[in-house]
Amino acid sequence: MSKPLSGKVALVTGASSGIGQATAIELARAGATVAVSARRADRLAELVGQIEAVGGKGLALPGDMTVEAEAIKAVEDTVAQLGRIDILINSAGVMQAGGIEGVDLDEYRRVFDINLFATLYTCKAAVPHMLEQGGGDIVTISSLAGRKGGPETNAYSASKHAVNSMTDAMRQELGNRNIRVSILMPGATETEVAHNISNPQWRTAIQAHVTKDGAVQPSEIGETIVFMLSLPRHVNISEISVRPTIDTTA
Gap between the Cα atoms of 154 and 161, Å rounded: 11
DSSP of 166-203: HHHHHHHHHGGGTEEEEEEEE-SB-SSTTTT-SSHHHH
Cα–Cα distances in Å, from 40 out to 24, 64, 82? 15, 9, 21
Gap between the Cα atoms of 12 and 248, Å rounded: 29
Gap between the Cα atoms of 119 and 239, Å rounded: 16
Of 9, 58, 53, 8, residue with least CA distance to 38 = 58
Pairing verdict, β 179-186 and 136-141:
parallel
Q: Which amino acid is at 57?
A: K
Radius of gyration of the chain (CA): 17
Q: Which amino acid is at 146?
A: G
Say which of 112, 117, 121, 156 is annotated catalytic: 156
Answer yes or no: 156 catalytic: yes
Question: Could you tell me which residues come within 8 angstroms of residue 128 by beta carbon, excluding any fewer than 6 positions away?
Answer: none
Residues that are catalytic: 156
